[in-house]
Structures are given as C-alpha cells and as structure tokens.
Amino acid sequence: MKDFLSISDYSSEELQDLLDLAVKMKAQYFAGGNPPLAQGKVMAMIFQKPSLRTRVSFDMVMRHLGGDALYLSPAEIGLGKRESVADVARVLSGYVHVIMARVFAHEHVTELGEYASVPVINGLSDFNHPCQAMADALTIQEKFGSLKGVNVSYVGDGNNVAASLMYIAAKLGANFTIANPEGYDMPAHAIELGRKLAAESGSSITLLNDPHEAVKGAQAIYTDTWTSMGQEAETEKRLKVFPPYQVNADLVAKADKDVIVMHCLPAHRNEELTDEVADGPHSVIFPQAHNRLHAQKAIVARLLGVA
C-alpha cells in the first residue's frame, strides 16, 4: 500500500488486515499507550475543508505514535490555485514522511498521490471518505464480530460517505441498502463498482427510495447531513425534500431490535437525526467518531511500514 485514497483500491484481505491492526492498536492504547512506531516522522495535513474529527484524530494519531503533524490551511497552500497540485506534492515529499489531504475534488488527492514520493491519505474528497469507512467498519465489527452478512442500511443523500460505506460493506461481505430521494442517488459509476465488489464477496447492494422499507431487518442504520460542504446553496431545497428520511424513533423501531445507529458527524440534530435517537440506546455515533483515531493509526502505521 503506497497510498490510501479509496476503499475500492484495496482487497478484502488488506482491509481486514487494517481492521485487525486497528483492534490491536486500540487495545494497546487503552492498556497504557501505543509504542512510538512513528518516532521522528511528520505528517503534513492539507485542509481545503474544515473538520473537527479529521484534524484532531490525525494529529493525535501522530502524537500517540511518537511523531508529529503539521496543519496547512487553505490560505497557506491554495491547492491547485496558488501552486499546482503536482508541485505541492513534490515539495512536501522533501519535507515530511506522509501527507493527509482533505479536499473538495477527488482528482486533487489522486494527483497528490501520483506526484508525491511519500504516502498520501485521502482525508475526504467529493468521491469518497475512506478513513471514515474504516472507522465505520471497525464500529460494526466491534458490535457484530465481523461485517460478513451484516445488514447495513444508509438513509439520506447518496454522497461520498455513502459510497465509501457501500464499498467497505461490499468488500467485507455486508449487505448494503440505501434509501434516498429521487435525484439524490449516488453516481452511477459508484453504484456500478459497488455491485461488482458485492458480487465478488457474495453480498448484496439494494437501491430504494422508501426509508421504511430500507431499514427492515437492518442491523446498522447510517445517516449523514442532508447538505454537505459545498452544497450550501441547495440547503433550502434539500430541507423540503429530505424530512421523510429523518432517522427517528419510528424508523429505528422498524429495524432489528439490536440495531446500531451511525452518523459520521457533524450532525444537524433534529434534521437527519433526532436527539432521541442520537442520545438513545441504539446510538454508537460517539464510539464511531472515536474509532477514527484507531482506524487511522493502522492506516498510517501500514503506509509508513512500521507495523
């Protein structure tokens, strides 16, 4: 693994290996701390979009592993504007040991990977959110033992988070169902790839518009904000379209009795997810957020070749 750009780039075995390492490193952390595997290593963190979880979790990954992280704001780089992506990649490769980038356009992170001589991690792009998917998978595995045969239902916008969740579900044998309003589907190429991956693992991909139908038998219900960063002009329109897709007590009651409710955060409470559910017995949204730290430790350690 040179880079970590999309879940679909890696085999089921590689992904499960990362999850197993994440489990080990999480246990180490709670048993007294991780060994300084990344001592002397520095991560450059490029941000075009703000983030609480991505910035803090990656910063703490490097601290826990004995390394350091350097935050680079949009004003400091102007990725693809002030300086070409290729030049940024080549310059940073001479300064740091790994690059994490949270970008708008997926081609920016793939171009960083192409021109950087150090590993590049996708901290989010418009195409997918692979680090979030690893934390999601770790959370599901902790609840059910593995992803094989688990019914995962996503309710809401067919966005980048939905795509990554679909890919990791398909890779690791979970059955993935999505319910979204008409016109808010995942891109056709993402669905086509998801179906191909599911066929290889023997799992299923189901596309619906009815959220109540989608959660029948669900063991995990997942939702995300109805308006992602960069779509702010559509907020008013989306607030009229998405209310039937709210994850509330009525919807959760139609799922498996032991269902877990997931959200990548930040949540717009009482829009896509009610307070009652977010703070209720089925919610794992905060353990899920904390698992970003442990999943990303595994990713960084593997890319740096230290574990």
Query: Residues with Cβ < 8 Å from 111, sequence gap 6 or more?
Result: 85, 86, 89
Domain map (residue ranges) of the chain: 7-129+292-304, 132-288
The number of C-alpha atoms within 13 Å of 6 and in the hemisphere containing its C-beta is 19
Spatial separation of the C-alpha atoms in residues 92 and 227, rounded to whole Å: 33
Question: Looking at domain 7-129+292-304, does it have CATH number 1.10.10.10?
Answer: no
Q: Give me the percent of the chain exceeding a pLDDT of 90.
A: 93
Q: Is the pLDDT of residue 1 over 90?
A: no
Across the range 233-242, mean pLDDT stands at: 94
Q: Which residues are catalytic?
A: 102, 129, 132, 224, 264, 292
Q: Is the pLDDT of residue 88 over 80?
A: yes
Q: Is the pLDDT of residue 242 over 90?
A: yes
Q: Express each pLDDT in 166-219 by its tens digit.
A: 999 999 999 999 999 999 999 999 999 999 999 999 999 999 999 999 999 999
**Same-fold call for 7-129+292-304 versus 132-288:** yes
* CA-to-CA separations, 95 to 41, 42, 68, 90, 293, in angstroms, rounded: 10, 8, 12, 9, 24
Check residue 70 and give its pLDDT.
97
Q: Express each pLDDT in 92-107 by its tens digit.
A: 999 999 999 999 999 9
Check residue 50 and give its pLDDT.
86
Q: Is the pLDDT of residue 230 over 80?
A: no
Q: Is the pLDDT of residue 21 over 80?
A: yes
What is the band of 233 on the pLDDT scale with cuts at 50, 70, 90?
confident
Check residue 136 and give its pLDDT.
98
Q: Is the pLDDT of residue 284 over 90?
A: yes
Check residue 18 and give its pLDDT.
98
Contact status, residue 204 vs residue 173, Cβ threshold 8 Å: no
Q: Look up the pTM and report it.
A: 0.96
Spatial separation of the C-alpha atoms in residues 107 and 208, rounded to whole Å: 29
Spatial separation of the C-alpha atoms in residues 219 and 208, rounded to whole Å: 17
Which class in CATH covers the domain with range 132-288?
Answer: alpha beta
What is the band of 123 on the pLDDT scale with cuts at 50, 70, 90?
very high
Check residue 229 and give its pLDDT.
73
Check residue 168 and give its pLDDT.
98
Q: Taking all residues of the chain, what is their mean pLDDT, rounded to a whole number? A: 96
Instruction: Write b or e for each residue in 18-33: b if 16 or more Cβ atoms lie within 10 A of its Cβ, otherwise e.
Output: bbebbbbbbeeeeeee
